[in-house]
Amino acid sequence: MNIAEAVARVVDDALTARRKVGTVTGMSGNRVIVSVQGGSLELPRLTSYTPTAGDVVHIDATVPGAWLVLGKTA
């Protein structure tokens, strides 16, 4: 592997780590209960997204401990 490929791979891995995919299992107040990476989390959501159990959602994981459910793919 050349240096350009190595750098591209590191950048791709870093960007991938900032986005997660999970499945909505329920709601708790204004928070979404999401199954992600083998566990369950209660996460805040964008107000423009109305969650439904079973939705596969995209999660912004840029800031550790402050993940945000963005919504599902249309």
pLDDT in tens, 4-58: 898 888 888 877 778 999 999 999 999 999 999 999 999 999 999 999 999 999 9
- pLDDT recorded at residue 21: 95
Output the pTM of the full model: 0.79
- pLDDT recorded at residue 11: 83
C-alpha to C-alpha distance for 22 and 33, rounded to whole angstroms: 10
- pLDDT recorded at residue 45: 97
Is the sign of the CA dihedral 8, 14, 18, 23 positive or negative?
positive
Confidence at 61, pLDDT banded by 50, 70, 90? very high
- pLDDT recorded at residue 71: 96
C-alpha to C-alpha distance for 35 and 15, rounded to whole angstroms: 21
